[in-house]
Homo-oligomer: A and B are copies of this chain.
Amino acid sequence: MTGPTGSEPRSPAVQVAWADAREALRERGLRWTPQRRLILEVLAETSGHITGAELVERCRARDGATIGSTVYRTLDVLEELGYVRHSHGSDGREEYHVLPLAEHAHVRCLGCGAAWDLSWEDARELAERLEARNGFKVALGHVMIGGYCPGCEPAAP
Contacts and interface: CB of A to CB of B under 8 A. Distances in A.
- Contact residue range for chain A? 35 or more
A42 interface: no
Interface stretch (A20-28, A29-37, A126-134): A126-134
Main secondary structure of the interface of A (DSSP, over half): mixed
A147 B136 contact: yes
A108 B88 CA distance: 14
Contacts of A122: 126, 129-130, 133
B143 A144 contact: yes
B154 A147 contact: no
Given A137-B148, A148-B136, A107 B130 contact: yes
B90 A92 contact: no
Contacts of A1: 130, 133-134, 136
A93 B135 CA distance: 27
A146 interface: yes
A94 B93 CA distance: 10
23 contacts: A1-B130, A1-B133, A1-B134, A1-B136, A82-B157, A88-B92, A90-B142, A92-B93, A107-B136, A110-B139, A119-B133, A122-B130, A122-B133, A125-B129, A135-B149, A135-B150, A136-B147, A136-B149, A138-B147, A142-B145, A142-B146, A143-B146, A143-B147
